[in-house]
Amino acid sequence: MHGLAYYSSPVGELHIESENEKIIFLGFLRNSKQEEVRTPVIEQGVSELDEYFTGRRKFFSFEIDLRGSDFQQKVWNELLNIPFGKTVSYQELAVRIGDVKSIRAVGLANGQNPIAIVVPCHRVIGKSGDLVGYGGGLDRKIWLLEHEGFLQKQLSIF
């Protein structure tokens, strides 16, 4: 069964889709809304997003189905290993997947992540520590990193 729902978050309206009791898409709403079909996994996802955005959850437990090329899946699965409140550079991510020369391809795959927030592509930054690139916009990336406490940790050193 295909599910569809929308979630009003502090970073904007989110569009959520499920299939076979797995989330297959979670992204920022870009088109007009359609009629919702809420499935149990979507209800669980909404509940966990509520907990995340109110600071009561650091990890998501609902099932996801990452659909993409083998390379994209390798990158997205590695994103899942970045802890809450931490960041890695695109270069470090390329090293983690075993190909330091794939930095641009890693960046492209990161930008095509179909399950935002849960697969934390917002935790990837530039080599120099700059907050570069985010499909949802840098303002959302900054909000998410502040929410997770990363930017406060960085600022507290000064």
pTM as predicted: 0.90
Class of domain 70-155: mainly alpha
**Model confidence at 157: pLDDT above 60:** no
Catalytic residue IDs: 121
Closest CA to 97 of 84, 105, 59, 133: 105
Q: Which residue, chain included where needed, has tokens 């990158």?
A: 75
Are 136 and 28 in contact, with CB atoms under 8 Å apart?
Answer: yes
> What is the tens place of the pLDDT at every residue in 133-149?
777 888 999 999 999 99
